[in-house]
Structure 1
């Protein structure tokens, strides 16, 4: 006896919840816009480096790759903490979720501290936005990203109280999802920015 093909395909039940993007749709539009903006800046950096290889080689040699690597670990770790926060909220473990979110906030703050020291070191060395095209683009790219990390930390700080109070659940955590989506974008941008600006010659 043959089995109907329709039974083999196992169609989704009408009771199954529809798949959706996590967070608000507005956040995803914003993420797309920011990725496009950074994409243009990455192209500008790459094109200008082709025109001025000596200037860019000297500028990149002056950057501290170890600090950039530590910042990469901080952002990736913060993303992991944010993901754990969301998983704990969906499982109803709000106390654990609070710890993970606080850890994400502290890791993001660590990035801001290290990056601020990097800017101060350049300032004390007499390097600024107008030194040459490399530093102009370096300040633009890293400074714009720095502002996004600051915004992400503010979002985490605003989410901390409702997470602590247990106001989110598996059925209602849209704001938390949106905050995590934003942070993952910030992390992704740095994963591209760090090798492009600090490592590739």
Structure 2
């Protein structure tokens, strides 16, 4: 098949072409969702094996801070979506404003999570406290790393506020939201 024939056939991305943003971000998103799914699956299996350890671990967590962080992160996703809508309408200043709001709320999420970690560590809770806390810190730390990466991605696309870039950054940001929405009840609420 010649290059011209390939161009006529499309880019070869199939279903990914219909998703917002650059198709490569969706490859990353799907791989990250698989990784988080495996981590959460391991957490659930370990809970079944050690129910008393996990019940004690959950009881030591601050679900109020985690609930606040859920509201903060979901609101940041809403702001990022508004930024995407503004970018699509070629309203770059509005798009940038919404992206700044999303990044600020993402930064607030990081600050609240660090306060929560500080409280845990202050009470003598760490990675080696129990199986629950080993998995808790690994899962939430991995997620926190993704929040920080998402803030960097939003900052990069903020500069030009072009629709494809904003869509790409917002798609990653929504993945971060989605993962937290799944993690929050599993880690903090489900007994």
| Shared fold (TM-score, shorter chain, > 0.5) | yes
Q: Which residue of 1 aligns with 2:4?
A: none
Q: Which residue of 1 aligns with 2:70?
A: 72
Q: Structure 2, unaligned stretches of length 5 or more?
A: 1-16
Contact 2:87 2:166 (C-alpha < 8 Å) held by counterparts:
no
Using the TM superposition, give the Cα deviation of residue 122 of structure 1 relative to its aligned residue in structure 2, in angstroms. 1.2
Tell me the secondary structure at the aligned position of residue 137 of structure 1: helix
Give CA deviations for 1:28-62 in whole Å, capped at 9, x if unaligned: 11111111111111111111111111110010011
Instruction: Please point out which of 109, 134, 137 is paired with 2:135.
Output: 137
1:24-173 mapped onto 2 (5 Å cutoff)? 24-163=22-161, 168=162, 173=163
Q: Which residue of 2 aligns with 1:194?
A: 184
Contact 2:22 2:164 (C-alpha < 8 Å) held by counterparts:
yes
**Pairing 1:179–2:177 present:** no
Separation of aligned partners in 2, 1:36 and 1:103: 29
Q: Structure 1, unaligned stretches of length 5 or more?
A: 1-18
Q: What's the C-alpha RMSD, in Å, of the aligned pairs?
A: 1.1
Separation of aligned partners in 2, 1:197 and 1:145: 13
Using the TM superposition, give the Cα deviation of residue 177 of structure 1 relative to its aligned residue in structure 2, in angstroms. 1.1
> Whose helix fraction is larger, Structure 1's or Structure 2's?
2
- Aligned pair count reads 175
Using the TM superposition, give the Cα deviation of residue 87 of structure 1 relative to its aligned residue in structure 2, in angstroms. 0.5
Separation of aligned partners in 2, 1:114 and 1:63: 13
Separation of aligned partners in 1, 2:139 and 2:51: 18
Structure with max Cα Rg:
1
Q: TM-score, normalised to structure 1's length?
A: 0.84
Runs of 4+ in 1 over 3 A off after TM superposition: none
Separation of aligned partners in 2, 1:45 and 1:99: 38
Separation of aligned partners in 1, 2:155 and 2:120: 30
